[in-house]
Structure 1
Amino acid sequence: MSFLKKLFGGAGGATPGEPAVVDSRDYAGFAIKATPMPEGGQFRLAALIEKEIGGETKVHRMIRADLFASKDDAAAFALRKAEQVIDEQGEALFNN
């Protein structure tokens, strides 16, 4: 499988180009979607952070170096890490 397919969730039942959402929650006006990425028998911490701003849904793709043995652990930590990122950066997260 190509690197780009892995990066953007081209496997695992997700729509091509869309990462597979394992868990989600709303936090401080943002939507967080945990999207652990399979890698070498483990799962890389990844999530989508979304917020509607000015009638447009802004999306930030968060991918971390952290690897976990289980998809559920990676999803749980992704939700917590995304909350931390939201607390630190808020809407500035979408300024890039």
Structure 2
Amino acid sequence: MIIRFLRSMMGQNGADNPPDVAAETEYQGYTITAMPARDPGGWRIRGRITTEVDGTPRATEFVRADVYGSQEVAAEMTITKAQRLIDEQGLRLFGGSH
């Protein structure tokens, strides 16, 4: 259900192909979704962080320059980077001064 909501929030419809989800985990009240992107050199870190702010679902996506040889390693590193973003920025990831 949340995936459907996020797609509609980003203007995607059911006919669009969503990014391939390689891994998903919960961390400190946030959902981290790892979606490594195919890159000529391997797999690029790419993910989504979602949570609720004042009862409203919120999401932000991120891409990093880091490229790894396998999708699995890129997914693990995506989760690590997302955890760091959450630790450093918390709700500021979603705008505002929370």
Q: TM-score range by the shorter chain?
A: 0.7 to 0.9
Q: 1:41 deviation in Å?
A: 5.0
Cα RMSD after superposing both structures: 1.5
> CA offsets per residue over residues 71-96 of structure 1, 9 Å max, x none?
00000000011000000000000007
1:70 corresponds to which residue? 70
Q: Which runs of 4+ in 1 moved over 3 A?
A: none
The amino acid that maps onto 1:71 is Q
Secondary structure at the aligned position of 1:18 is classed as coil
Task: Report the count of equivalent residues.
Answer: 82
Secondary structure at the aligned position of 1:59 is classed as strand
Q: 1:21 deviation in Å?
A: 0.9
Structure 2 residue 64 is matched with structure 1 residue 61? no
| Residues in 2 aligned to 1:62 and 1:17: alpha-carbon distance in whole angstroms | 18
Q: Which runs of 5+ in 2 are unaligned?
A: 1-14
Q: 1:19 deviation in Å?
A: 1.8
TM-score after normalising by structure 1: 0.79
1:46 corresponds to which residue? 46
* Contact 2:60 2:93 (8 Å CA) reproduced: yes
